[in-house]
Structure 1
Amino acid sequence: MAEVAVTVRGCRLIGTLGSVLLAAGSWSAGALPFGVPDGVWAQRSPAHTVLGAAASYAGLVLLVTAWWRLGVVLRQGEPVGPGQLRPVLWSWALPLVPGPLLFSNDAYSYVAQGALAGRGWDVYQLGPAALGGPLADNVPQMWRDAPAPYGPLAVAATHAVVAVTGEHHTVAAVLGMRLVALCGLGLIVWGIRRLAAERGSGSGSGLSGSGAGAEWGRGGEAGALWATVLNPLALVHLVGGAHNEALMLGLMVAGLVAFRRGHWVLGTAVLTWAALVKVPAAVALLCAAAWSVGTMPDRRSGWLRGAGIALAGLKALVLGVAACGQGWGWLTTLRGPAQVYTVLSPSTDVGRVLGLLSEGFGVGTAAGAIAAARSVGLLLGVCAVAFCAWRAPRTGPEYATGTALLGLVVTAPVVQPWYVLWGAVPLAAVAWRLLEGAGARLATLGLVAMVLPSGTAPTWAYALAAITGASAAAAALVAWGPPGLAALPRLRLQERGSVRALARTRR
């Protein structure tokens, strides 16, 4: 146990150093605002930006390595409790809180939408460009004229933040949005631990079973925390980027906890409110409802439960929209993000290839091919959600929600790296070992590397600095790696050898 404590402590220290370096680099290489009176996050010179990029990528390598090695400890079945991981989480997350945005400019759009709502303007009719000034200038060009693509609860949260900070204090407002994200992160921790403890089964499959449950139960809570909130993808995007996915996922997990504990009315309300942050959370409500109905003892009870959930969801929807005060215009802007092309969307990529071929052979247009491929992708996504919801009574609502949302992300017309968290968070609560395999971890690293800390395209100097910083951190890890992690496998082999020798002596 002492050796494990040293190992976890070593991972914590490496990850904390990485988080500090990443945060320090963000002050010159992050997503800095333009033209704001708050001089704290000022634009830096090109030389400072290069140094910040080197520091950021050195920190990112350290953070990812610490997370990877911590996963190795958990995979080996060592008795690491969730109490040991809470200090790790806050040591890795808190250094990112006071710094500029990382890996995305989206939070500037949130602040602008909150300012629009504060002026009493319709955020589902007007884009941030209507504000003018620094607030509009900091919004990415593609979103300046676009109405808010988020639900009314997300807009209400940003409205509340801007009401406190004022719309002329962009830095303070962004920090307020980061505090909202931390609240969502806290909800995720609370919910994941309870789902993992209460489920206690489903090693890799999500299905119940005594043998599988016993195998999965070893380190289940710690493993679930490792796969979710300690995941670098969650840290850099939910905390560093202050994305509203943190609030959506926190409410989603809390609603699933309520369903698991038999409080289906409360669970329905909370999951409905999660969908009022971002609509994909409605998949969790569908899967939880299917599970709740499917576990009823007879058909009549199932129909009554289904009707009750539908009625509770409708009431929660109407009350939530009324309380937010943004009206129903959000239903007309849900397709806004689909206007953006992202390389991570398979359906869009297939459509582009088909578009090139169709234009080359003169049988169609690129736009038509992309639209057709995206439509097919959406249809496949809907089918995947329906299939997972149908199996929810056998797999459980968490597993069904996780697989359904992952299927929806893969087939969506627009995919951002942090969208993977939609499915990974509920899935990790009951099947975290699916997310600790080498393939899943490598995919996580690839997604982390997809976006730059500045949220913009790289320059040659920036790329060279990033490679230099990452290489320096990797070399330092090789030269001065923590002895506890290297010694642990040797100790386990020595213990096994001692056991075998003792057995031979007894024979």
Structure 2
Amino acid sequence: MRISARNLPSCMALTIGSTLVLSISSFGAGATRNRGGMLDALGLDFLAYGHGGAVSNLFFFWSLVVLIGTWALAGRRFVFQSTRPEAERLREIRRLLFAQILCLIPAAPMLSRDVYSYLMQGAMVRDGFDPYTQGAAINPGPMLLEVSFDWRNTTTPYGPLHLWIGNVITHIVGQNVTLGVLLYKIVSILGFFAIAWAIPRIADRLGASPTLALWIGVSNPLMVLHMVGGMHNESIMVGLVSLGLLCALRRRFLLSVALVGVAVSLKATAAIALPFIVWLAVRAFGGDRHAPRGRRIGAFILSGAIGVVETIAVVSLVTWVSGSSWGWLSEISGNSKVINPLALPSLLANLVTPFFQLGNDDFSYNTPLGIFRTISMVCMLVGLVLVWWFFRSDARRALTGICAAYLVAFVFNSVTLPWYYASIISLLGVISLPKPLIKWVIGVSIVLTLAFAGSGNHMLYNVGWMVATALGAWILADLSMGPRRRVSLAHAAGQDPAEGEATPPSPAPAA
């Protein structure tokens, strides 16, 4: 079989079409409202349940698949198989990314219900409650009705900036959930724009391809759908960290630490990047490994001390201005309810529990889970220190170390969710990964994107589904990296390349 790229729609047409359908179907297949909402106001609430819900889910799924396939096709046309100048290819990926964001603005929350919890926590602060010591159920109202039952009696692990944003938004919207979601989407898009602006510039500073960095690290469907569609606060956190890392590469270390410090006041995991900014400062002021040892030690002590003091000062300032407290520090590891195989302790507990239950039906899953979580915390701390020390020689290794440190944290953490990996994915294109690893990143991104239904329920324990998505991810990763023997998307020899497709020296063999 031979497929010509000229016979396929343009990536822009596929992107706009699939994202618009995804946005429309999200009102019936996304994280739909329990009370009220757009469908209810229009008298179309039947699209969220029964046969109407099935139709909405069908359109949502297929538009999601087309969107993912278009991303892979764009990678092949503009990143891996293109002879166009870098600036032109980067502009094409930016256009596709902008189109996705524009089409997702009117969409309902998708792949997660977290935005409703964010609104509820802001409303709690507005109404005089403390989300660090009280659950959402303490404050009944329209916003509480949208919070998942699992989180109605759970405190929040997020920092004072998170509560400040929610407080401001709920002061503006009152009890209007729809308007609150829209304002949260605007905030998420601003954070996402910060990522999209900083990442290609970081890649350029490190001598990597800005086009690859933007394609795999920002226009990645896992990033777009969870940061913009799901409105997770990782969008703001990763945006601030990305800006901070760019400032560090430009030797503006005080501004760099300040930006990451603000990110820490939103979510504590941003702090993982700070020790590596110290290495960048040591490299800038202490010289390379051939410089005098005393000079490098002095630069390390001074940079580390300034970094710690400035971070504490920034977080303290945000805490004071927001009128919040330091209660979040004791709640960082509080979301222990989530069980899925993305976190190593949960995966190991899933594997060993059935064997123990063969001899004892009363054996509790929580017993090995508690043991593995304790061991994993120790492994995480040791792993973070080792990674920090190992990736210290230059700027590129420092950013590679940030990716490795986040990976250690997420693998050994008690709770891990797909959007956590935004901190890693956003940086993978700037550190010049070898092509086999890039292929793995493409495949894993696709699998994680398809691991959650539009409603926010995960399918990680559905073996058939995960095997099917893994197979599809392998095919699409193969597509994006280049032609194969049996299926060729290249033009015939002598034809002008379409959308950046490189003209092959000879026709590809047909099956």
TM-score with structure 1 setting the length: 0.83
Counterpart in the other structure of 1:209:
none
Letter in 1 for 2:35: G
Q: Does 1:387 align with 2:390?
A: no
Shift of residue 380, structure 1, vs aligned partner:
2.2
Which of 75, 81, 91 aligns to 1:76? It is 81
Q: Could you say if the C-alpha distance between residues 333 and 8 of structure 1 is closer, same or farther in structure 2, counting changes exceeding 3 Å?
A: farther
Q: For the residues of structure 2 that align with 1:227 and 1:87, how far apart are their CA atoms?
A: 15
Moved more, 357-366 or 142-151: 357-366
1:12 aligned onto 2:16: no
What is the identity, as a one-letter code, of the residue corresponding to 2:240?
Answer: L
Q: Distance in 2 between matches of 1:9 and 1:273?
A: 43
1:227 partner letter:
I
CA distance in 1, matches of 2:436, 2:216: 6
- Equivalent position SS for 2:259: helix
Q: In the alignment, does 2:489 pair up with 1:486? A: yes
| CA displacement 1:454-478 (0-9 Å, x = unmatched) | 12479xxxx99xx9xxx9xx9xxx9
Selected match of 1:96 from 104, 111, 117: 104
Q: Tell me the equivalent position of 1:25.
A: 25
Aligned residues: 456
Contact 1:428 1:435 in 2 (8 A): no
Q: Which residue of 2 aligns with 1:302?
A: 300
Report percent identity of matched pairs: 24
- Give the alignment partner of residue 53 of structure 1, picking from 57, 68, 72: 57
Cα distance in 2 for residues equivalent to 1:65 and 1:51: 21
Which amino acid is the alignment partner of residue 330 of structure 2? T
**Alpha-carbon displacement from aligned partner over 1:38-75 (angstroms, at most 9, x marks no partner):** 64587434222111111111111110111111122312
Q: Does the 8 Å contact 2:491/2:503 carry over to 1?
A: no
Structure-2 residue corresponding to 1:437:
438
Q: How does 1:467-506 map to 2 (within 5 A)?
A: 486-488=489-491, 496=505
Question: Cα offset for 1:243?
Answer: 0.6
Unaligned runs of 5+ in 2: 288-294, 480-487, 496-500
Q: 1:101 to 1:412 in 2, by over 3 A?
A: same
Query: Which runs of no fewer than 5 residues in structure 1 stay unpaired?
Result: 201-216, 479-484, 499-507
Q: Distance in 1 between the 2:277 and 2:172 partners?
A: 36
Moved more, 421-430 or 13-22: 421-430
Match of residue 319, structure 1, among 309, 313, 317? 317
Runs of 4+ in 1 over 6 A off after TM superposition: 5-9
- Of 119, 122, 134, 1:126 maps to 134
- Alignment partner of 1:396: what SS? helix
Alpha-carbon offset, residue 193 of structure 1: 1.7
Distance 2:353 2:504 in 1: 61
Q: Which amino acid is the alignment partner of residue 81 of structure 1?
A: R
Structure 1 residue 301: deviation in Å?
2.7
Map of 1:208 onto structure 2: none
Partner of 1:501: none
Structure 2: distance between partners of 1:433 and 1:182:
31
Q: Which amino acid aligns with 1:149?
A: P
Aligned partner of 2:484 in structure 1 is: none
Matches within 5 A, 1:182-331: 182-200=189-207, 217=208, 220-295=209-284, 296-297=286-287, 298=295, 299-331=297-329
Shift of 1:435: 8.5
C-alpha offsets along residues 166-221 of structure 1, whole Å, 9 cap, x if unaligned? 1x100110111111110000100111021011111xxxxxxxxxxxxxxxx4xx11
Task: Report the counterpart of residue 155 of structure 1 in structure 2.
Answer: 163
The Cα shift of 1:11 comes to: 1.4
Could you tell me how far apart the structure 2 residues matched to 1:452 and 1:413 are? 22
Q: Residue 292 of structure 1 contacts residue 393 of structure 1 at CA under 8 Å; is this kept in 2?
A: no
Evaluate the alpha carbon distance shift between residue 243 and residue 281 of structure 1 in structure 2; reply closer, same or farther with a 3 A threshold: same
Deviations 1:278-297 (A, max 9, x none): 11110011221233235523
Deviations 1:374-432 (A, max 9, x none): 12222222223222211332243322111210221122221111122121112322336
Q: Does the C-alpha gap of structure 1 residues 71 and 457 become closer, same or farther in structure 2, counting only changes over 3 Å?
A: closer
1:127, 1:145 within 8 Å by CA — same for their partners in 2? Answer: yes
Structure 2 Cα separation of the partners of residues 337 and 434 of structure 1: 36
SS of alignment partner, residue 425 of structure 1: helix
Shift of 1:305: 2.0
1:347 Cα offset (Å): 1.9
SS at match of 2:456: coil
The farther-off stretch of 154-163 and 32-41 is 32-41
Q: 1:306 to 1:6 in 2, by over 3 A?
A: farther
Alpha-carbon spacing, 1:124–1:18, altered in 2? closer, same or farther (3 Å):
same
- What is the alpha-carbon root mean square deviation over aligned residues? 3.0
